[in-house]
Amino acid sequence: MAEKLLMLALSPTMETGVISRWAVSEGDEIHSGDVLCEVETDKATMDYESPADGVLLKIIKEAGSSASVGDPIGIVGKADEDISDLLEEAAAQEKAADGQAGSEDEDSKQPSTAPLSEISPADQPKTPDQEGFIRSSPLARVLAGQNNLDLRQIEGSGPGGRIVKADIEKAVAASVKPAASRTEAVQSGQDVVVPVSGKRRIIAQRLSESKYSAPHYYLNIEVEMDDLLASRKRLNAAPDTKVSVNAFLIKLTAEALKRHPRVNASWQGDSIIEYGRIDIGLAVAQKDGLITPVVRDCANKGIRQIDDELQILIEKAHKQTLTPEEYSGATFTISSLGSFGIDSFTAIINPPGSAILAVGEIKKTPVVRPDDLIAVCQIMKMTLSCDHRVIDGAVGALFLADLRDMMQEPVRTLY
């Protein structure tokens, strides 16, 4: 019996996904576990695997289309099976989703109830007594206004040629310009509309929630990195060994968190969780946003093991193949912009953690010693962002001071 393939939640925070590519075509025989398509989630591009054996009878959402979790994206069943009822159900579900911003009677052609501030003048609905009224749903008009699209240039696929959400999404996808034309557009002074990806939208949502719900405060400190860099040089002198500075930073941060468990904690509203494990995430840049691969149980791992795992995670992050288990649930996060020449910066806390450490570039800097002599040292600036609901100022300051001392003298981790 034929059944609809529904968009699944492929990550913990996924609400919608974009089908970037279909791996099979209509009429292909498929088996349970086969990869049917690739879906761009809020965090990465994930494989959508078939839940059943059969034949892919219909692709409902073409490549480039977005779908909310629970929306039908295809139909699977037996060859030559009648799927007309399922297609009608899918169309009805799409119509219902399209009408979430408000319903409109086709005969009366009522004006849109969407705020006029969200609709460009060219896209505002005409009153019933005007000629040339453009059949379109309220949501379609809002989306058209937000993307500077002329409804008169869009062909509707709804009843009676009515323009619906899917038509706007298709037009937006078609309007995306290749990189070369973007350069030409800038040179000619033209605007380029860049659609917001699902990942970018979720990043904006999560960080906005963090910034405005967690009362952030910031602590700054400078670290002399000479001893740590010397230790790394000695370690990397061994054959086939090249440990990154990030691995040292993660390990020493874990050691400091062991001494200050309140920093390795999370606000739960009516309670605070102090985590038993130290799972540290490292922010990694992707072409369309950030992702934070997580090294688990860092307190019980050595620097080499941390570095080995970190390199695998970073490679997968660049290929956008991280699984949800590999990028979610960090109890503490580190963000580094030193490779971009940034001296210092502040970072937004990455939930569920209550603190994030921002590290800058390591630079040779003149330092005044206690005997008033001037020495040139390798200095790195660190900024700790803290959630004041969980971490009091003195607690954050003591953690940061201990971390600095460990980094300046790595042997301190032994006592």
Residues designated catalytic: 388, 392
Tokens of 342: 């940034």
Print burial letters for 85-103: b (CB count within 10 Å at least 16), e (below 16).
ebbeebeebbbebbeebee
- The string over 362-376, giving b where at least 16 C-beta atoms fall within 10 Å of a residue's C-beta and e elsewhere, is beeeeeeeeeeeeee
**Which residues does 51 contact at the CB level (< 8 Å), separation at least 6?**
5, 32
Angle between helix 393-408 and helix 245-259 axes, rounded to 10 deg: 130
User: What percent helix, strand, coil does the chain show, rounded to 5?
Assistant: 35, 25, 40
| Among the listed residues 66, 65, 61, 37, the one whose alpha carbon sits nearest the alpha carbon of residue 49 | 37
The sign of the CA dihedral 281, 284, 287, 289 is positive
Cα 125 from Cα 203, distance rounded (Å): 33
The Cβ-side half-sphere exposure at 412, using a 13 Å CA radius, reads: 18
Residue with tokens 């002599």: 373
- SS3 call for 301: coil
CA dist 319 and 200 (Å) reads 17
